[in-house]
Amino acid sequence: MNDVFFYLFGFLSVVLALLAVTQRNVIRGGVFLLGSFVSLGAVYFASGAEFIGIVQVIVYGGAIIVLYLFALMTMDLKKIREQPLSLGFVSLGGFLSGILFLLIVYGLANLGRVPKVEISGARELASPLFYKFLLPFEVISVLLLVATIGAVAVGRREK
């Protein structure tokens, strides 16, 4: 039963992601991206990682897409649409997504089955994070703090 949902939501997630990048209207694209992220959360659910699935919906579905849409709504979309595409950007994007595609194919070749997750709750996730991987965890949090302060500093200077 779970396998059916795994493939169903996986398929849905891919289809919605495709819709997201092919939409002419950026806001609609954002909404499809939201759908893609939420169905990715459902994929985690179907493979037994309840906690990660919910966090996926909160962080990506809630916070990040709201920020995307918020930023997009403040821009003048008509002006952006009229700008010509530059070949450099298109080829760079194509190159990067080609690498990503190869990575995914490589990963799939090694996997080829529905993963079974042992880590399902917050407790199981927290104990390795705060004992085994405490140092990397703290380093990342300092890095994020630096990025936040940096963003504030850059934003202030422009005023």
Partner 1 sequence: MIDNFLSLLFIVLLMLVAVPPITYLERKVLGHMQQRPGPMVVGPHGILQPIADAIKLIFKEDVIPKGSDKFLFIVAPSFSVFSALLAASVVPIGFINAVPMKSGLLFVMAMSAISIYALFLAGYSSNDKYSFLAGMRAAAQVLGYELPMGFALMAAVILFGSFDFNEIVKWQQSHGWGILYQPIAFLIFLVMMIAEIGRPPFDLPEGESELVGGFHTEYSGMRFAAFFFGEYINIIVLSLVVSLLFFGGWSGPFAKEYPILGVLYHLLKASFFVFLSFWLRATFPRYRFDQMLGIMWKVFLPLSILNIFIAAAEALLVG
Residues binding partner 1 (CB under 8 A): 25, 27-28, 31, 34, 38, 41, 50-51, 54-55, 57-58, 61-63, 65-66, 69-70, 73-74, 120-122
What is the smallest separation between the CB atom of 142 and partner 1, expressed in angstroms?
A: 18
**Size (the chain), residues:** 159
- Between 74 and 110, CB nearer to partner 1: 74
Phi, psi (rounded to 5 degrees) for 45: -55, -45
Decide: helix, strand or coil at residue 111: helix
Closer by beta carbon to partner 1, 6 or else 32:
32
Query: Over the range 127-137, which residues count as b (16 or more CB within 10 Å of their CB) and which as e?
Result: eeeeeeeeeee
Least distance from C-beta 94 to partner 1, angstroms? 29
Looking at the Cβ atoms of 47 and 61, the one nearer to partner 1 is 61
- Amino acid at site 158: E
State CA 98 to chain mean position distance. 18
Between 63 and 80, CB nearer to partner 1: 63
CB 143 → partner 1: shortest distance, Å?
20
- Please list the alpha-helical segments (H only) found in the chain: 2-22, 26-46, 50-56, 65-74, 77-82, 87-111, 122-127, 134-158
CB of 10 to partner 1, least distance (A): 19
